[in-house]
Amino acid sequence: MESAATTNHMEIVYERPVTLTDTPMHYCPGCGHGVVHRVLMEVINEMGIQDRTVGVAPVGCSVFAYNYMNVDMQEAAHGRASAVATGIKRVLPEKYVYSYQGDGDLAAIGTGETIHTVNRGENILMIFINNAIYGMTGGQMAPTSILGQVTSTTPYGRKSDLNGFPLKITDLVTQLPGAYYVTRQSVHTAAAVRKLKKAIEASFKYQPLKKGTCFIEVVSNCPSGWKMTPIEANAWMEKNMFPLYPIGDLKVPKQN
Amino acid sequence: MESAATTNHMEIVYERPVTLTDTPMHYCPGCGHGVVHRVLMEVINEMGIQDRTVGVAPVGCSVFAYNYMNVDMQEAAHGRASAVATGIKRVLPEKYVYSYQGDGDLAAIGTGETIHTVNRGENILMIFINNAIYGMTGGQMAPTSILGQVTSTTPYGRKSDLNGFPLKITDLVTQLPGAYYVTRQSVHTAAAVRKLKKAIEASFKYQPLKKGTCFIEVVSNCPSGWKMTPIEANAWMEKNMFPLYPIGDLKVPKQN
Amino acid sequence: MKTAHEIIIAGFGGQGVLSMGQIIAYAAMKEGKEVSWMPSYGPEMRGGTANCIVIVSEEKINSPIVSTFDSAIILNQPSLEKFADHVKPGGLILFEESSIINPPSRTDVEKLPVAALEEAQKLNKRQVANMILLGAFLERRPLVAPENVLKALKEVLPERHHHLLPLNEQALLRGKQIALELAHESVL
Amino acid sequence: MKTAHEIIIAGFGGQGVLSMGQIIAYAAMKEGKEVSWMPSYGPEMRGGTANCIVIVSEEKINSPIVSTFDSAIILNQPSLEKFADHVKPGGLILFEESSIINPPSRTDVEKLPVAALEEAQKLNKRQVANMILLGAFLERRPLVAPENVLKALKEVLPERHHHLLPLNEQALLRGKQIALELAHESVL
Amino acid sequence: MEPTSQRVDSSTQAETRLMKGNEALAEAAIRSGMQAYFGYPITPQSEILEYFTAEAPKHNFVVLQAESELAAINMVYGAGGAGARVMTSSSSPGISLMQEGISYMASAEIPCLVVNVQRGGPGLGTIQPAQGDYFQATKGGGHGDYRLLVLAPASVQEMADFVFDGFRLADKYRTPVLILADGALGQMMEKVVLPPSGSLPFIDKPWATTGKPASRERNILTSLHMEPEKMEEINVKLQDKYRKMQQEVRYEVIGAENPEMVIVAFGLTARICLKAIELAKERGIKVALLRPITLYPFPYDAIARLTSTAYAFLTVEMNAGQMVEDVRLAVNGKRPVYFKGRMGGMIPSPEDVLLEIETIAEKQQTTTV
Amino acid sequence: MEPTSQRVDSSTQAETRLMKGNEALAEAAIRSGMQAYFGYPITPQSEILEYFTAEAPKHNFVVLQAESELAAINMVYGAGGAGARVMTSSSSPGISLMQEGISYMASAEIPCLVVNVQRGGPGLGTIQPAQGDYFQATKGGGHGDYRLLVLAPASVQEMADFVFDGFRLADKYRTPVLILADGALGQMMEKVVLPPSGSLPFIDKPWATTGKPASRERNILTSLHMEPEKMEEINVKLQDKYRKMQQEVRYEVIGAENPEMVIVAFGLTARICLKAIELAKERGIKVALLRPITLYPFPYDAIARLTSTAYAFLTVEMNAGQMVEDVRLAVNGKRPVYFKGRMGGMIPSPEDVLLEIETIAEKQQTTTV
Amino acid sequence: MIRGTVLINRDICKGCELCIAACPQDSLGLSDQINRHGYRYVQLVQDNCTGCINCALVCPDCAITVYQEPRAKAKSSAQRVPAL
Amino acid sequence: MIRGTVLINRDICKGCELCIAACPQDSLGLSDQINRHGYRYVQLVQDNCTGCINCALVCPDCAITVYQEPRAKAKSSAQRVPAL
Ligand SMILES: Cc1ncc(C[n+]2csc(CCOP(=O)(O)OP(=O)(O)O)c2C)c(N)n1
Ligand SMILES: Cc1ncc(C[n+]2csc(CCOP(=O)(O)OP(=O)(O)O)c2C)c(N)n1
Ligand code: SF4
Ligand code: SF4
Ligand code: SF4
Ligand code: SF4
Ligand code: SF4
Ligand code: SF4
Ligand SMILES: [Mg+2]
Ligand SMILES: [Mg+2]
């Protein structure tokens, strides 16, 4: 530990939440997964719901989320996190249940489960990390990869005629009557992180109302998969992903 | 054969197309599947593309479509017709390829394939028979069943909190950039049948342009599953399904 | 009667073939007998033919599927062609008269043509033709007591159709009568 | 040299451990030898440790996975701890000097510490440390001819990095020199 | 439309009813205290889901028609992991789609009940009864080394009873249990004595993910272990469990004492063989039936013991020859093992089987003369 | 990031290269005239898809990253049914998801090549090499009675060669063929002599759905046959085909003539055993290796013949004991059959195997003394 | 008014009555007879058919062939297939 | 201006530099040393930290603890967790 100024007489204004385990995270330097994990755990800590929360980890870089998140967790098969979360929530309707998935997991192999979970309006929070690539398996094209993006399976850039178009799955789920709250956030600046935190807070507050699914897309980075430094990656994300995946709310509950 | 008036000196103004086999169809009396089959085969006959067309049958009441449609056909696993059609079209890009699926097939188990096929803009025609029920397996709830609808798995009526909402999958695929032409039609009147025929014609004309997927939903009936006479069924459909699934074009190619 | 009685009931779907079998099975069970009811469950779609095998036995039933029968109750021509030869010598072939164009030619079985449809029309309800057949059958093969058949009927019919019970009872009786009348002329 | 030479090369991911092995294998193949290169392919994510087993043989290679080695080229401390005891008596442990805090204590093997990182810094390219180690290794175990190593390098390096070939050659040479210098003081 | 047996009110009393196998199974599940069912319609077992949806309002269980079998099995994973007594059911093609999920559950040790009311395959096949999924059920249709405890009912009564056994064993071994039935068993009606409700106790599941209280570490359910050493450990643990499961082996032997011939058959086929054995007896051939009730664990020893009296074994299945491999492994070369199968939805008749018996008996005669 | 072996230009000449198994397989596929590939990334075989996407512009084949393994296998069905030389590849969990599709293809007789580069299971498991999918591959992980022709490569060379064999056999028998490799074979580099392009002829596929000309009836590819009689007919036809396929059995025997002990092992494990056999020889124990190259058809007869000389058999696998059942069936009780396995991504070492050999040899000594 | 007529394939007609509902002329009605599949089939009950083909368009079983007196310019939407 | 400071867990810092970019005070910089995972870690390079917690908010590895001189009314968005 290192600190230039002395901390005597100072008070802690930010520290690791107890809901985050001590295990150092395996993510690459600068990877957005870590930030989202932390913010999620901060909210659970601050809301005091650690003992009533069950999370579902996906297959993807965040497959080990359960090593870091200090809540009961299940690790789902690739793409099925929302089905697993459905199973949990249906038998434990009073618990807080969330799923956490990448773009390959949620928007490729898991498309059917994603659409139907939201369409049923399962009273869960779905967190969707869109980094426009398959991080874990070594940087292959994701459904959300942008046109022209070079990945290990689009070495000459994604072309719509060969590989289809970037899939805006969040826009699709927004259409579904089961969606209660849908928002798209990011974690590349302190301000963005604060907004994401509010969105997660709101989602957990909505959950006991049983009004439907809360769905949060986080437009994120993959420095390794994109072959960039974290700073470059965030800049690339702002420049190339934000126009396609604009940050902001897509559906907010009607005041009543 | 029976005819009150003599047919001497008269000419045939409607007869069975040669693209429809002689096999009597196994569908229940009044079932819309038969009409759609016939219209589809009329178009193929009239366009003279029988020798360049490959169809894909689903699992559902129309599983035996290949017994009636006099074109080369493959029978796909439940929900995978559009993946099978993708496989065919990718290796035979100059042929006309269509898939034919029910609502359980296309919008439940096959949701992922449906979304991704259209999102890739596969240059095929997808025909989607929405009869708001699983006809083949005995009248279970379909993703498109309407709220309150009594089916063998919603004996007290479909409830959104238990069973989710009617899934307007055609509205979803309309959003996808790969969709070139999306329309919703029906077959309960002669006028409706004429419109459907136009839609199918248009779709096959678009196919060689390689501009993306043509998607035709046919809002149809299931007298047996709904436990109604065909006439009652069509009336019920107009009254209950059309408001939710309004007939008309959802996406038409831009003129250019 | 020997310890097990094996019956095939066959016709078109919708003729009440399957419930006929169920009623026999249910009534026999109520009498403490061993029973099994095995439908030929059709293709995953409507229509077509339907049949079921019912076994009523004093002992535990092993195979619920048999290929020869003590009795056959036949409601259409294709079924007759399929099953007529599978009735054991000395067995019974009971059939709906108007539905059968070519009656069975076997001479080593009892043949009982019942004009059930016609009779049902007379009762103003085509749907009870199967009960007429059942009544006739039970007259010739009294596997279960009539009062138990009525009880079974009550159990098998959905509540909302219970007002039809008297009509069904009437049909059963009519069937019994017909069989009695025919008994005199029946050819072995 | 006996008919097969079994080598382990181990370090952190990104240190060029795997390509070192590939270069040896490729060069040996060009010389008509049998070769195998077996990476420990890591978890489905970035980072962590990496190693590969390279076998160069006059004869057909059966198991590409072995648990004792003729030579070990070690680039970090965890790898040294993992593999030091698996080097056959009389074998070679070559290691990057600055990365190893506790050098191997065995006395029945040849130990060759090479300050590859330091030397690479001198060449203004940390990334060629692995070539320095390779040069040193081939000096002590001349499994393949230097010209074939250069050829292999050309094949293994992506085209866009071909301008680095001279630098790599320099590094190889520097490694050779170091090994020669050390040879005099090396302890068995 | 086929008639449906009358619905019964689950009760704390045992009750005798005439029911379809599918319905008896569903009613038994309700009485067993099942807490959740997730499934997708498929013939010949859709009655199970239908029965649950009709009964649900009267009881306190979850029933959900999933969007696919894939979703269903993963919902089962979630609910089972959360500690619920949970099940799913399907028929052959649908069960194939569940293979990945089943492998996951075996590995993460999620107790649950899976019911396969088999139909004729391969492919879409037919909806007629078959036993073509024996290999898939007993050797593991999914990837990796795992086993399911497999129960093979042969009557409507067993369709009901094995639900209780299945849930009990699933909890006991923290493992998915499979009931391997067939379309005929699902569709036929027989008398069934329904077990009383509440007779199957619930056990503590301290490993379940129900929310981490301060008093314990978080619970994690996973099948991922990147270190092969750790993954091997998991496998060793599973294999130990499977060894322990051997004690659950069940079978019955019916027919001749000191038989000259033994038929091995399971499920409905076994009952058909009993009829054939009666016929054979009339012809003076002493045949016994060995009916495996658990297909995994398989009654190898029981079969091996019979090699001392029987001169031949005949395996009868509604498939092209699957269990016969296990019978051969049990007999281990000591006696000839014959096979008779019907496929694609065809049911062997007692006469089919009798013919085999006679042929084998004749062969034996010629050999011994 | 691991380095990737250099890409080579497919050519009409045979070429010698140093390549990863996955890449050699992909390059061989291109040279074999493969017309379409559909796949979904999964470690340890993603290089196959990556290789194809990099090479596609230079050649005339279709490569498509599907949205899932489920979609991929059904695209294979479509393309194969349309007459194309088509393949997919995946690793264990992904292959489980393909089981329904594979059963469909076997039934509809769609020729294609499926590659399983196995990793440790069950469940998500680990990405390290394993052979835990032997049962799934050889007994049918999907539903119904069907078999795949299964080839088990043991070297990078065979990873390449078996693509040619696979496509040839798939066409010959109108059947899906499976290459059962493992992660180590996919990731390791060896010398490979790449077969020249164009050396694998194309055959006529009059059954393919390519559009119905006036000159023939329409072609229908289906696995549905509602009449059980018809479905049984289909099954009989399939079983006939599988019997004919027995002639394709391949294996090799290496090591001592008239061995006292025979090791049966496939794939990479076989090569590890060879090393162990060398070590055993030094200790005076004469051991031979029988390596099944086709896992289905399995070399039962070849193994049975060896029972005349060997006093014991040892099966070594990277699983909990799967092929050993087939070895037992082949040996049929004539000799003891031992098993040594490592699981969950662990690779047995030659020393592991040697220990088993010595233990068996000792046991034999004590018995014979 | 143009004269037409229809030929109904009574063997494949399922008596769904959709054609009856679709006929603007009320020309069609159910027969009292049943065909070999057990269905009451449709027949012409009035000789006022115009050959508008509406009935044929809605028939799910393609059981209806429609004839019409020749006109200078046929306007039916169905292609004229020569009756071979 | 409020005074603050940060404590950086150098063992888990991965040197991604995102905190450096996020700091409005330019208080942070990369050290020349590497930690045991091989990463150059971050350290305070100027003593002008205000305790605004921006750095902590963007840190993917939760490597930063932030301190601040007590104010009458703390306005940080993070919950005050008593340091036990
Ligand atoms: C059935 C199955 N298919 C494929 C895989 C391989 N796989 C693991 S993670 C992954 C994709 C991960 O991408 P994403 O969901 O975007 O997560 P990220 O790593 O980018 O966070 C894939 C294809 C698998 N484990 N299981
Ligand atoms: C994998 C699989 N799951 C389930 C089934 C059973 N099944 C056959 S058709 C069908 C649904 C049919 O409904 P739909 O697609 O709406 O077609 P329809 O019959 O209404 O035309 C189902 C669930 C199957 N054959 N395969
Ligand atoms: S590969 Fe990408 S998504 Fe995965 S940990 Fe690294 S940076 Fe994050
Ligand atoms: S069940 Fe419904 S969809 Fe199927 S044929 Fe009958 S009416 Fe048509
Ligand atoms: S052609 Fe027109 S007028 Fe004639 S019967 Fe048909 S619908 Fe009626
Ligand atoms: S529409 Fe066709 S099937 Fe229906 S009644 Fe008329 S002719 Fe018959
Ligand atoms: S953001 Fe965190 S991990 Fe990155 S450099 Fe700063 S302290 Fe280190
Ligand atoms: S707390 Fe604010 S001022 Fe202090 S180092 Fe972090 S970002 Fe800079
Ligand atoms: Mg991603
Ligand atoms: Mg439908």
- Please give the sequence-ordered ranges of beta strands (E in DSSP) within chain A, or none if there are none: 11-14, 53-57, 72-75, 96-102, 125-130, 179-186, 213-219, 248-251
Name which of B27, B28, B136 is nearest C44 (Cβ-Cβ). B136
Beta-bridge partners for D51:
D10
pLDDT > 70: what percent of chain A?
97
Cβ neighbours of A176 in B, within 8 Å: 165, 167
- Residue F13 has a pLDDT of 73
Which residues lie across from B215 on neighbouring strands?
B126, B182
G56 C-alpha to center of ligand 6: Å?
A: 8
Listed by start position, the domains of chain D span: 4-187
- The mean pLDDT values, 10 residues at a time, for chain B of 256 residues are 62 97 95 98 98 98 97 98 98 98 98 98 98 96 98 98 97 98 98 98 98 98 96 98 98 84
In terms of residues, how long is chain D?
188
Identity of the residue in C43, C44, C47 whose CB atom sits nearest the CB atom of B28 = C47
Helix (H, G, I), strand (E, B) or coil at F76: helix
**Is F312 a residue whose pLDDT tops 50?**
yes
For B79, left (φ over 0), alpha (ψ -120 to 50), or beta?
left
> What is residue B133's DSSP assignment?
E
What six digits make up the tokens of F186?
A: 């996919």
Alpha-carbon distance B27 to B224, whole Å?
10
The β-bridge relationship of strands C87-96 and C110-114 is parallel
Q: Is B93 on the interface with A (CB under 8 A)?
A: no
Report which protein residue has its CA nearest ligand 7's atom 2: H59
pLDDT higher than 70, residue C46: no
User: Which residues are within 5 Å of ligand 9 (an ion), measured at CB?
Assistant: A 102-103, 131
Q: Whose CA is nearest to atom 6 of ligand 4?
A: B28
E89 phi and psi, to 5 degrees?
-150, 155
Asked whether residue H77 is domain-assigned, the answer is: no
Question: Which residues are within 8 A (CB) of B129 and not within 5 positions of it... i.e. 6 or more apart?
Answer: B32, B33, B36, B60, B62, B100, B101, B102, B103, B218, B220
Task: Compute the average pLDDT of residues A38-46.
Answer: 98
Mutate to test the interface with B, among E51, E65, E91 (most CBs of B within 10 A): E65
Average pLDDT, chain F: 95
- Best of G12, G40, G41 for a ligand 6 pocket test (most atoms within 8 Å of beta carbon): G41
pLDDT attached to residue G78: 46
- CA–CA separation, F107 and F109 (whole Å): 5
Is residue E41 within 8 angstroms of chain B, CB to CB?
Answer: yes
Question: Cα separation of A64 and A50, whole Å?
Answer: 18
In CATH, what is the architecture of E15-204+221-247? 3-Layer(aba) Sandwich (3.40)
User: Is F127 in CB contact (< 8 Å) with chain D?
Assistant: yes
H81 pLDDT band (50/70/90 cuts)? very low
Q: How confident is the model at residue D2 (pLDDT cuts 50, 70, 90)?
A: low
F 281-310 → B contacts, CB under 8 A: none
Q: Is the CB of B98 under 6 A from ligand 4?
A: no
Domain count of chain G?
A: 1
* CA-proximal residue: ligand 3, atom 4 (nearest): A135
In a domain, G42, yes or no: yes
Residue D156: the pLDDT is 83
Ligand 2: centre distance to CA F323 (Å) = 37
Cβ of residue A119 closer than 8 Å to a chain B Cβ: yes
pLDDT score, position D14: 79
* Residue A136 to residue A27: CA distance in whole angstroms: 10
Q: Which residues of chain A make contact with D45, given a CB cutoff of 8 A? A: 26-28, 61, 135-136
Looking at the complex, does the CB of residue F35 fall below 8 Å from at least one CB of chain B? yes
Higher pLDDT, E1 or A76: A76
Q: Does domain A27-251 match CATH 3.40.50.970?
A: yes
3-state secondary structure of H37: coil
Does residue F188 surpass a pLDDT of 50? Answer: yes
SS3 H22: helix
Q: Are strands B96-102 and B125-130 parallel, antiparallel or unpaired?
A: parallel
Rounded-to-integer distance, Cα C54 and Cα C69, Å = 10
Yes or no: say if H7 and A2 are a contact pair by the CB < 8 Å rule. yes
* Closest residue to atom 5 of ligand 1, CA basis: F42
Nearest CA to ligand 1 atom 26: A78
pLDDT in tens, F193-219: 999 999 999 999 999 999 999 999 999
**Would you call D44 and A224 a contact, using CB atoms and an 8 Å cutoff?**
no
Distance (angstroms) between ligand 8 centre and the Cα of H2 equals: 11
Question: Helix A111-119 crosses helix B111-119 at what angle (to 10 degrees)?
Answer: 110
> How far apart are the C-alpha atoms of E142 and F95, rounded to whole Å?
8
The answer on pLDDT for A255 being more than 90 is: no
Answer whether B224 touches C (CB < 8 Å).
yes
Q: Where are the domains of chain A?
A: 27-251
Q: Tell me which residue range forms the domain holding G56.
A: 4-69
d(CA D3, CA D143): 11
Does 3.40.920.10 match the CATH number of domain C4-187? yes
Instruction: Report residue A256's pLDDT band, with 50, 70 and 90 as the boundaries.
Output: low
Helix segments in F82-223, DSSP class H: 92-97, 99-108, 134-135, 156-173, 183-187
Distance separating alpha carbons of residues E328 and E336, to the nearest angstrom: 8
Q: What is the pLDDT of chain E when averaged over all its residues?
A: 95
Q: What number does the ligand 5 atom closest to the CA of G4 have? A: 4
Q: Residue type for C166, please? A: P
- With an 8 Å Cβ cutoff, is F83 touching chain B? yes
The residues that bridge with C111 in the sheet, in sequence order, are C93
> Is E94's C-beta closer than 6 angstroms to any atom of ligand 2?
yes
CB of E97 within 6 A of ligand 2: the answer is yes
Which chains would you list as touching G if contact means 3+ CB atom pairs under 8 Å?
B
Q: Classify the C-alpha dihedral B224-B228-B229-B230 as positive or negative.
A: negative
CA distance F195 to F199: 8
- Residue C173 tokens, joined: 């009786």
Ligand 3 nearest-atom number relative to CA A32: 8
Q: Which residue is listed with tokens 């079985």?
A: C109
- Inter-chain residue contact G66 with B15, CB threshold 8 Å: yes
Q: Which residue has the tokens 């803009």?
A: B121
Q: Do chains C and H touch (3 or more CB pairs under 8 A)?
A: no
pLDDT tens digits, E50-61: 999 999 999 999
pLDDT at F250: 98
Assigned domain for G18 exists? yes
Alpha-carbon distance of C63 to D27, in angstroms, equals 72
Tell me what percent of the residues of chain C surpass a pLDDT of 70. Answer: 93
pLDDT tier at A50, thresholds 50, 70, 90:
very high
CA distance E145 to chain B (A): 28
Q: Helical H runs in chain D?
A: 17-30, 77-83, 116-122, 129-140, 146-156, 165-183
Domain ranges of chain E: 15-204+221-247, 249-368
Closest-CA residue to E56 (of E7, E2, E121): E7
Chains D and F in direct contact, meaning 3 or more beta-carbon pairs closer than 8 angstroms: yes
CA–CA distance, E129 with C40 (Å, rounded to integer): 10
User: What is the number of the ligand 6 atom nearest to the C-alpha of G18?
Assistant: 1
Evaluate whether H13 touches H39 at the Cβ level (below 8 Å).
yes
Residue type, F317: E
Identify the pLDDT of residue C126: 83
> For residue H28, is it within any domain?
yes
By Cβ distance, the residue of H43, H67, H76 closest to A10 is H67
Three-state secondary structure readout of E263-319: EECCHHHHHHHHHHHHHHHHCCCCEEEEEECEEECCCHHHHHHHCCCCCEEEEEECC
| Beta-carbon separation of D44 and A137 below 8 A | yes
CA atoms E300, E303, E308, E311: torsion sign: negative
Query: How far is the centre of ligand 10, averaged over its atoms, from the C-alpha of B217 (Å)?
Result: 12
Q: Residues of H numbered 20-49 whose beta carbons fall under 8 angstroms of chain A's beta carbons: which are they?
A: 21-22, 39, 43-44, 46-47, 49
pLDDT tens digit string along D108-166?
Answer: 999 999 999 999 999 988 889 999 999 999 999 999 998 899 999 988 888 888 888 99
Max alpha carbon distance in chain C (Å)? 44
Residue pLDDT, tens place only, B138-151 = 999 999 999 999 99
Residue A77 predicted with pLDDT over 50: yes
Residue G21, amino acid: A
| CA–CA separation, E269 and E292 (whole Å) | 11
pLDDT in tens, E53-103: 999 999 999 999 999 999 999 999 999 999 999 999 999 999 999 999 999
Maximum C-alpha span of chain F: 79
Distance D100 CA to ligand 2 centre (A): 64
Contact between residue A206 and residue A214 where contact means Cβ atoms under 8 Å apart? yes
What is the CB < 6 Å shell around ligand 7?
H 8, 13-19, 42, 59, 61, 63-64
- Tokens 């290929």 — which residue? C67
Residue D185 tokens, joined? 């003081």
Which fold, F249-368? Rossmann fold (3.40.50)
Residues 6+ positions from A121 with CB-CB distance below 8 Å: A176, A177, A178, A179, A180, A211, A212, A213, B160, B161, B164, B165
Closest-CA residue to F76 (of F57, F58, F94, F93): F94
Distance CA C112, CA E86 (A): 52
Instruction: Tell me if the bond preceding F111 is cis, omega within 30° of 0.
Output: no
DSSP-assigned states of every residue in C60-104: ----S--SSEEEEEE-SHHHHHHHGGGEEEEEEEEEEGGG-SS--
- For residue H1, give the nearest of H28, H19, H24, H21 by alpha carbon: H24
Interface subset of F 126-155, CB within 8 angstroms of E: 126-128, 130, 132-133, 135-136, 139-146
Q: 0.90 exceeded by the pTM?
A: yes
pLDDT tens for chain E, residues 1 to 369: 344 454 455 566 778 999 999 999 999 999 999 999 999 999 999 999 999 999 999 999 999 999 999 999 999 999 999 999 999 999 999 999 999 999 999 999 999 999 999 999 999 999 999 999 999 999 989 999 999 999 999 999 999 999 999 999 999 999 999 999 999 999 999 999 999 999 999 999 999 999 999 999 999 999 999 999 999 999 999 999 999 999 999 999 999 889 999 999 999 999 999 999 999 999 999 999 999 999 999 999 999 999 999 999 999 999 999 999 999 999 999 999 999 999 999 999 999 999 999 999 999 888 765
The predicted structure's pLDDT at residue D13: 77
Answer whether E189 sits within 8 Å of C22, measured CB to CB: yes
Which residue matches tokens 């002992």?
C59
Cα-to-centroid distance, C156 and ligand 3 (Å): 63
User: What does residue E12 show for φ and ψ, rounded to 5 degrees?
Assistant: -80, 0
